[in-house]
Amino acid sequence: MVYFVGAGPGAEDLITIRGQRYLENADVIIYAGSLVNTALLKSAKEGCKIYNSAYMTLEEVIAVMEEAEAKGLSTVRLHTGDPSIYGAIREQMDELRKREIAFSVCPGVSSFCGAAASLQIEYTLPDVSQSVIISRAEGRTSVPEKERLQKLAMHQSTMVLFLSSGLAKKVKEELLAGGYPADTPVAVVYKATWEEEKTLYTTIETLPEDMETAGIDKTALIIVGNVLGGEYQKSKLYDASFTTGFRKGLSD
Ligand code: SAH
């Protein structure tokens, strides 16, 4: 059996209890070495074989899983954050399906949730933004034309950009071309929930310079939108005058 496990954003106690159990029982662990906190590997049992996928191709990863499966062993494939976000798990799952190797997926705390916690923000504020766009600037991996940042920017909803911290100039140009005002607030969170976490508050206008000054060009999220500002409406859910399925409002 192969378990794809979300390791969480960085802090070792932000893995789920289920993910932790899988780790403790694994005979083989293949972890994404570029971003997974290696402190998590302390939970591996004695004799567990550990591989760093940063040095491996897809074929090599699958070969390790296949060999473990043939011996009836349990494999954990440890991905950073939640595996469903830029995790490259689909290609692995498809190869396992072809080989009729059973697998399951254990979710994790994505870094965009870790970053919101660090910034102490809410991505969805009444009358400000009720949507979160998760995307990336185009780099070596292409982005479909319809999803260019410039086009997504037209919504002016909250945006969380992964894999884009080396592309700050391009991010700025596309967001401005898409119609975001230059003074729209932006936060950058480097290594959210790690000890070396850094946060930076800026605007679209000054994003590239401020990131350069702070020396942030990888392992960061760029968060854009007015949810970073001070204006919003309170929720209806906790409004004293509002009746919900659980509570009668004052005005009814
Ligand atoms: N599956 C992961 C994302 C993997 S893609 C998740 O759910 O978080 C790798 C990118 O994620 C990095 O380039 C960076 O943009 C972002 N990232 C991952 N961990 C991060 C962290 N702790 N803080 C900030 N950004 C992070």
Q: Which atom of ligand 1 is nearest to the CA of 83?
A: 1
Model pLDDT for residues 180-190, shown as the tens digit of each residue: 999 999 999 99
Alpha-carbon span 131 to 141, nearest angstrom: 25
Model pLDDT for residues 83-93, shown as the tens digit of each residue: 999 999 999 99
Alpha-carbon span 160 to 235, nearest angstrom: 22
pLDDT at 252: 59
Q: Is the CB of 161 under 6 A from ligand 1?
A: no
pLDDT at 27: 98
- Pairing of the two strands 220-224 and 185-190: antiparallel
Q: Is the CB of 135 under 6 A from ligand 1?
A: no
Query: Which one has a higher pLDDT value, 151 or 245?
Result: 151
- Name the residue at shortest CA distance from atom 13 of ligand 1: 163
What SS3 state is found at 213? helix
Largest CA distance in the chain: 67
Closest C-alpha among 115, 94, 116, 112 to residue 103: 94
Q: Is the CB of 81 under 6 A from ligand 1?
A: yes
Q: Is the CB of 86 under 6 A from ligand 1?
A: yes
All structural domains of the chain: 2-106 (3.40.1010.10), 111-228 (3.30.950.10)
Q: Is the CB of 163 under 6 A from ligand 1?
A: yes
Average pLDDT (161-187) is 97
Average pLDDT (146-174) is 96
Query: Which one has a higher pLDDT value, 141 or 51?
Result: 51
